[in-house]
Amino acid sequence: MDQFKLFLSIPLMLFSSFTFSQQSEMSYPTELPFQTGNDSEYYHLESSLLIRTIVEDILEVLEKGKDKGQSQSFIIFLKNSRGGQLPIEYAVDAQKINSIMASNLKKSNFKKETYDWINRSFRSNIPFKD
């Protein structure tokens, strides 16, 4: 009987997670290597610009969907021409979206947190500066 309950609960959990949050997939072409110890100025500049673009795109999606009152999750795909792909998952809950949109200071903090999250995933060592 427990297996039957488990069998029924899994689709219900998946359905509820899709109903109460929205998911966006974003794709960015790049020729930067993933997970590298490369310490060149070019690598840091290019990765910093790429991450800043991603953060601004995330903020734009959140601003468009702020009235829906739903959490938002993102899957960011960094793809290169040789077939390499780096998926980065990022989620923002509904309460945080409302507080971010209410204050410029919180928006700035959100940009820094998001930049740092993607930076750690992408392994660029440039700290966030607005």
Chain segment 85-97, per-residue pLDDT in tens? 888 899 888 888 8
Q: Is 9 inside any structural domain?
A: no
Tell me how many domains the chain contains: 1
Q: Is 11 inside any structural domain?
A: no
Specify the 3-state DSSP secondary structure of 80.
Answer: coil
Q: Is 115 inside any structural domain?
A: yes
Domain with 63 in it: 22-122
Q: Is 127 inside any structural domain?
A: no
Q: Is 73 inside any structural domain?
A: yes
What is the per-residue pLDDT across 37-90, written as a single tens digit (0 to 9) for each?
666 777 778 888 999 999 999 999 988 877 777 888 999 998 988 888 888 899
Q: Which residues pair with 76 in a beta bridge?
A: 26, 88
Q: Is 8 inside any structural domain?
A: no
Between CA 32 and CA 110 the distance in angstroms is: 25
Least confident of 13-17, 22-26, 30-34, 109-113: 13-17
